[in-house]
């Protein structure tokens, strides 16, 4: 790295730049009189070479900047259509970026540190006193701001053919909206038609996405039918095409639904291949019966969507999927948990199987709104909220789910499938699940349809195309409903919006972490800024926003994708095809080591980095900084058995300093004083010990059969 810096550095004086390395810290000579204290909020040298092919578009979201950084210097751009390859500007500051005086937040700690980025990779995280900024480097002052890993949305559907139409957010519009909101990696779903080759469907999705995406992306593959040929194609996808996750459907009878025997065989194959099984958990047979009854009774409006897919229909399938996966010995990722009842089933399964092998995801939609919208007098408003499973009418559900997302140590248009629930308590309860670590990730399930497309179900709710927005607003909604309310801290926010997804799908530590060797996907986040969500200002192609009018604290000031500043000063600057496909290796350490009771060692950590392609990078660490943090894996050494599992860790985790988030508003909940417990929601039949015990490697499994 010293040679690279020496060759590429640009100086403004006649003095040469000398390079020295002292005990792992980078020390570069600078012209006399240069000082970090004299650096402006945004500095550039050699700005004439910084013009890169971009599509510039202003975001007009209502933003109230309470603690903004200084305005960046203007860089002349000849035309919005001007094209200049990055390789033509190798000495540009576009390849080097220095972020100073920020609070670097990873899932396991917060540190006041500077970050140096070169060629799309994080090269240094540590004290600014130990690093001299090389020439030709742009500097961003992040004083008072958080520097967090770019968001990872594990659940999107761009350009999806569904219900006789196609979702309006294509891979360009969708990923651009993601970047605008602070998400730098998305994972989409390949959904073959019944009888279609998985490999052909995979190639179709790659041909759609590769030339369009503006950020990196991965692919899950749906198992929409079952045969020996499907099993063989799963092997090929894992071994040759960079896929490690397969989604099964227990709903959509006649279209995607598999029976229990087929589910077992898919799960068995996933275990054999080292893949992660995913499941859409709703009882499709009961839903089909309910739809027929409701239509016969004259219920044709959007409210019929939720009435046909009640909470127990989602909960029953969730429990059944967990049991089948456990019998097959396969790790299971339950997508879009939308109700308290389904969240409780995930929590029960995790306790039953000692917190190994079961993972849960909820959606921004479930946390930010509820199913009362299905009864709105405006048909179009109600239909816009249709998704599956549906939003729930219980208003306590969002907080309930958020608390299941939170860390245990901190707690002592609207149709979807499953649908959003109309109970206004549902969002609150979903938040609780996130807070308890019974749910690990937050996705968007972004699958957007416009007004005229939703009208396909004008006289039959079962024909309303399922899907809502969320890829752009996910990060802000989770911050507003989680951090701003005191249910989670900034570290857990990073975990549930980025790190956990990276670990589950084997992208960590390349993604989901700010550390030397990681991809330079990060967000400079202003926790004090406020924006109001609106369809009139969002970057998505849809004409409706289910979070319309929501005021969110927490706004991305800068979004950096692979070292390139793509969001700055409310402007999105991206180019079609600048993102890349991410291969997801099989046997993710986070998932399979815990499932198999494997004990981690230093060699394991080295092997994990090698699998993610980091072993060849020349990294420079400063003792005592991020490289010395030991990443905790999902299976704790000590447990307190009980309905609300607590983790006793050897080292206390650092919570977000009050100086970052400011004083807690009056009336906001203090998560350290929370008395929340889901003991009343969970099975009380188990014997509850008050003695701390050490579980054997891999934990203990006590099934109910």
Contact call for residues 18 and 146 (beta carbons, < 8 A): no
| Judgement on whether residues 128 and 186 belong to the same structural domain of the protein | no
Contact call for residues 246 and 266 (beta carbons, < 8 A): yes
CA 59/CA 62 separation, integer angstroms: 9
Flag whether pLDDT at 1 surpasses 90.
no
Q: What is the number of helices (H) and of strands (E) in the chain?
A: 20, 31
Band of residue 43 on the pLDDT scale cut at 50, 70, 90: very low
94, containing H or E segment: none
Structure tokens at 401: 């789910």
291 domain-assigned: yes
Q: What is the dihedral of CA 568, 574, 580, 581, to 10 degrees?
A: 90
638 domain-assigned: no
Count of structural domains within the chain? 2
C-alpha distances in Å from residue 84, one per residue of 92, 211, 553, 586, 688: 12, 17, 37, 37, 65
| Judgement on whether residues 312 and 381 belong to the same structural domain of the protein | yes
Band of residue 94 on the pLDDT scale cut at 50, 70, 90: low
- For the stretch 579-582, contacts whose Cβ atoms lie closer than 8 Å and that sit 24 or more positions apart, written own/partner, are 579/175, 579/213, 579/214, 579/215, 579/216, 579/217, 580/213, 580/216, 580/217, 581/206, 581/209, 581/210, 581/216, 581/217, 581/218, 581/219, 581/242, 582/185, 582/216, 582/217, 582/218, 582/242, 582/507, 582/511
> Among 248-257, 370-379, 500-509, 690-699, which stretch is predicted with the lowest mean pLDDT?
690-699
Of 520, 555, 584, the residue at which a domain comes to its end is 520
Flag whether pLDDT at 390 surpasses 90.
yes
Flag whether pLDDT at 630 surpasses 70.
no
> Among 217-231, 561-575, 639-653, which stretch is predicted with the lowest mean pLDDT?
639-653
Residue 101: what are its φ and ψ, rounded to 5°?
65, 25
| Judgement on whether residues 223 and 354 belong to the same structural domain of the protein | yes
Host domain of residue 390: 151-520
| Judgement on whether residues 328 and 437 belong to the same structural domain of the protein | yes
463, 584, 466, 475: which is closest to 188 by C-alpha? 584
Report CA Rg, the chain: 25
Which residue is listed with tokens 């071994």?
239
What CATH number has the domain bearing residue 554? 2.30.40.10
341 domain-assigned: yes
| Judgement on whether residues 19 and 122 belong to the same structural domain of the protein | yes
| Judgement on whether residues 75 and 92 belong to the same structural domain of the protein | yes
CA 391/CA 127 separation, integer angstroms: 46
339-385 pLDDT, tens digit each:
999 999 999 999 999 889 999 999 999 999 999 999 999 999 999 99
527 domain-assigned: no
What is the separation of C-alpha 254 from the centre of its chain, rounded to a whole number of angstroms? 31
pLDDT of residue 699: 54
Contacts of 95 (CB under 8 A, 6+ apart): 8, 86, 89, 118, 119, 120, 563
530 domain-assigned: no
Flag whether pLDDT at 149 surpasses 70.
yes
C-alpha distances in Å from residue 459, one per residue of 295, 380, 419, 561: 10, 12, 18, 44
Contacts of 48 (CB under 8 A, 6+ apart): none
Structure tokens at 557: 């000031």
318, 320, 214, 277: which is closest to 559 by C-alpha? 214
CA 674/CA 245 separation, integer angstroms: 36
Diameter of the chain measured on Cα atoms: 85
pLDDT of residue 279: 99
Band of residue 436 on the pLDDT scale cut at 50, 70, 90: low
pLDDT of residue 136: 87
| Judgement on whether residues 385 and 284 belong to the same structural domain of the protein | yes
User: Is the pTM higher than 0.85?
Assistant: no
| Judgement on whether residues 421 and 516 belong to the same structural domain of the protein | yes
Contact call for residues 583 and 244 (beta carbons, < 8 A): no
pLDDT of residue 430: 66
Q: Beta 332-334 vs 385-387: how paired, if at all?
A: unpaired
72 domain-assigned: yes
CA 654/CA 640 separation, integer angstroms: 21
| Judgement on whether residues 171 and 256 belong to the same structural domain of the protein | yes
Most confident of 70-74, 207-211, 352-356: 207-211
Band of residue 128 on the pLDDT scale cut at 50, 70, 90: very high
Stretch 503-508: mean pLDDT: 98
What CATH number has the domain bearing residue 343? 3.20.20.140
CA 624/CA 196 separation, integer angstroms: 53
pLDDT of residue 259: 98
Contacts of 121 (CB under 8 A, 6+ apart): 517, 518, 519, 520, 563, 617
Note the helical H segments in 297-396. Answer: 303-308, 311-328, 340-352, 364-368, 379-383
pLDDT of residue 596: 83
Query: How would you classify residue 624: left for phi > 0, otherwise alpha for psi between -120 and 50, otherwise beta?
Result: left
Note the helical H segments in 126-170. Answer: none
Band of residue 578 on the pLDDT scale cut at 50, 70, 90: very high
Task: Identify the DSSP state of 432.
Answer: H
Query: How would you classify residue 608: left for phi > 0, otherwise alpha for psi between -120 and 50, otherwise beta?
Result: alpha
| Judgement on whether residues 554 and 450 belong to the same structural domain of the protein | no
215-274 pLDDT, tens digit each:
999 999 999 999 999 999 999 999 999 999 999 999 999 999 999 999 999 999 999 999
261 domain-assigned: yes
Share of the chain above pLDDT 90, in %: 64
For the chain, the average pLDDT equals 78
CA 205/CA 215 separation, integer angstroms: 15
Of 520, 549, 583, the residue at which a domain comes to its end is 520
| Judgement on whether residues 113 and 143 belong to the same structural domain of the protein | yes
Contact call for residues 140 and 430 (beta carbons, < 8 A): no
Q: Taking CA 615 as the corner, what is the angle to CA 120 and CA 121, rounded to the nearest 5 degrees?
A: 10
218 domain-assigned: yes
**DSSP bridge pairs for 218:** 187
CA 519/CA 561 separation, integer angstroms: 8
| Judgement on whether residues 292 and 348 belong to the same structural domain of the protein | yes
pLDDT of residue 95: 87
Contact call for residues 532 and 551 (beta carbons, < 8 A): yes
Judging by beta carbons within 10 Å of its beta carbon (0-12, 13-18, 19+), is residue 407 exposed, middle or buried? buried
CA 596/CA 315 separation, integer angstroms: 27
Separation of first and last alpha carbons in the chain: 58
pLDDT of residue 163: 86
Flag whether pLDDT at 633 surpasses 50.
no
Band of residue 464 on the pLDDT scale cut at 50, 70, 90: very high
116, 138, 140, 136: which is closest to 128 by C-alpha? 116
Between residues 28 and 530, the one the model is more confident about: 530
Residue 156: what are its φ and ψ, rounded to 5°?
-135, 160
């Amino acid at each position: 790295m010293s040679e690279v810096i020496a060759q590429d550095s640009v100086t403004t004086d006649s003095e040469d730049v000398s390079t020295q390395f002292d005990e792992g810290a980078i020390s570069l000579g600078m012209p006399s009189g240069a000082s970090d204290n004299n650096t402006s909020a945004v500095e550039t040298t050699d700005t004439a070479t910084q013009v890169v092919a971009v599509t510039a578009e202003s975001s007009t979201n209502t933003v109230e900047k309470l603690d903004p950084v200084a305005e960046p210097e203007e860089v002349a751009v000849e035309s919005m259509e001007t094209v200049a390859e990055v390789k033509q500007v190798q000495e540009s500051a576009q390849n080097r970026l220095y972020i100073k005086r920020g609070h670097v937040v990873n899932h396991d700690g917060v540190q006041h540190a500077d970050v140096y980025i070169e060629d799309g990779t994080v090269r240094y995280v540590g004290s600014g006193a130990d690093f001299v900024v090389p020439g030709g480097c742009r500097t961003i002052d992040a004083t008072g701001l958080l520097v967090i890993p770019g968001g990872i949305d594990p659940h999107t559907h761009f350009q999806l053919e569904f219900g006789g139409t196609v979702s309006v957010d294509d891979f360009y519009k969708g990923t651009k909206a993601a970047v605008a909101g602070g998400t730098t990696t998305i994972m989409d779903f390949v959904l073959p038609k019944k009888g279609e080759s998985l490999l052909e469907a995979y190639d179709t999705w790659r041909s759609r996405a590769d030339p369009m995406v503006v950020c990196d992306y991965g692919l899950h593959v749906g198992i929409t039918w079952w045969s020996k040929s499907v099993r063989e194609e799963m092997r090929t996808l894992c071994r040759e095409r960079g896929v490690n996750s397969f989604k099964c459907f227990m709903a959509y009878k006649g279209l995607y639904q598999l029976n229990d025997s087929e589910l077992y065989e898919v799960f068995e194959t996933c275990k054999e291949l080292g893949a992660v099984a995913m499941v859409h958990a709703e009882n499709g047979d009961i839903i089909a019966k309910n739809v027929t009854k409701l239509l016969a009774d004259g219920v044709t409006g959007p409210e019929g969507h939720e009435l046909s897919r009640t909470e127990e229909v989602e909960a029953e399938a969730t429990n059944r999927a967990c049991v089948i996966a456990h019998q097959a010995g396969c790790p299971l990722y339950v997508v879009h948990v939308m109700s308290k009842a389904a969240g409780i089933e995930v929590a029960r399964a995790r306790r039953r199987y000692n917190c190994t092998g079961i993972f849960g995801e909820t959606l921004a939609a479930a946390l930010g709104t509820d199913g009362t919208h299905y009864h709105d007098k405006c048909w179009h408003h109600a239909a816009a909220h249709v998704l599956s499973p549906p939003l729930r009418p219980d208003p306590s559900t969002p907080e309930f789910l958020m608390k299941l997302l939170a860390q245990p140590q901190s707690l002592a248009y609207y149709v979807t499938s499953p649908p959003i629930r109309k109970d206004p308590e549902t969002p609150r309860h979903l938040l609780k699940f996130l807070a308890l670590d019974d749910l690990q990730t937050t996705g968007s399930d972004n699958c957007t349809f416009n007004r005229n497309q939703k009208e396909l179900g004008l006289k039959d709710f079962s024909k309303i195309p399922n899907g809502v927005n969320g890829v752009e607003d996910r990060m802000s909604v989770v911050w507003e409903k989680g951090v701003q309310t005191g249910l989670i801290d900034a570290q857990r926010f990073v975990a549930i919006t980025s790190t956990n997804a990276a670990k589950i799908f084997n992208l960590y530590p390349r993604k989901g972490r700010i550390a030397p060797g990681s991809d330079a996907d990060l967000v400079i986040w202003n926790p004090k800024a406020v924006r109001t969500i609106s369809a009139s200002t969002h970057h998505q192609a849809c004409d409706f926003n289910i979070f319309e009018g929501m005021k969110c604290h927490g706004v991305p000031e800068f979004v950096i994708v692979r070292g390139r500043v793509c969001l700055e000063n409310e402007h999105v600057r991206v180019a079609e095809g600048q993102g890349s496909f991410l291969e997801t290796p099989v046997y993710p350490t986070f998932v399979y080591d815990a499932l198999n009771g494997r004990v981690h060692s230093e060699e394991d950590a080295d092997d994990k980095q090698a699998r993610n392609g980091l072993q060849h990078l020349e990294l420079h660490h400063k003792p005592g900084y991020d490289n010395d943090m030991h990443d905790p894996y999902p299976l704790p050494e000590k447990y307190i058995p009980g309905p609300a599992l607590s983790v006793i860790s050897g080292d206390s985790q650092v919570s977000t300093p009050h100086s970052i988030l400011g004083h807690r508003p009056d009336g906001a909940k203090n998560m350290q004083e929370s008395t929340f417990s889901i003991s009343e929601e969970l099975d009380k039949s188990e014997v509850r010990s008050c003695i701390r015990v050490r579980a054997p490697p891999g934990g203990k499994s006590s099934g109910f059969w």
